């Protein structure tokens, strides 16, 4: 009984860790994509650059 509970608790902790790690990696990828985007998004109220 205790072994089963320990296994379930360890599995839940492992899943939580992996989900957090994946979320952190996605956030870092989004940050790099934003930082290396050659054209910044237009902000309201700012004149558009003319090409």
Query: What's the confidence (pLDDT) of residue 40?
Result: 63
Query: What's the confidence (pLDDT) of residue 41?
Result: 63
Query: What's the confidence (pLDDT) of residue 25?
Result: 97
Report, in angstroms and rounded to the nearest whole number, the Rg of the chain calculated over CA atoms.
22
The tens place of each residue's pLDDT in the chain, 51 residues long, gives: 999 999 999 999 999 999 999 999 999 999 999 888 777 666 776 666 665
């Amino acid at each position: 009984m205790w072994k089963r509970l320990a296994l379930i608790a360890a599995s839940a902790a492992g899943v939580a860790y992996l989900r957090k790690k994946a979320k952190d990696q996605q956030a870092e990828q989004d940050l790099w994509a934003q930082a290396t985007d050659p054209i910044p998004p237009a902000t309201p109220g700012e004149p558009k650059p003319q090409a």
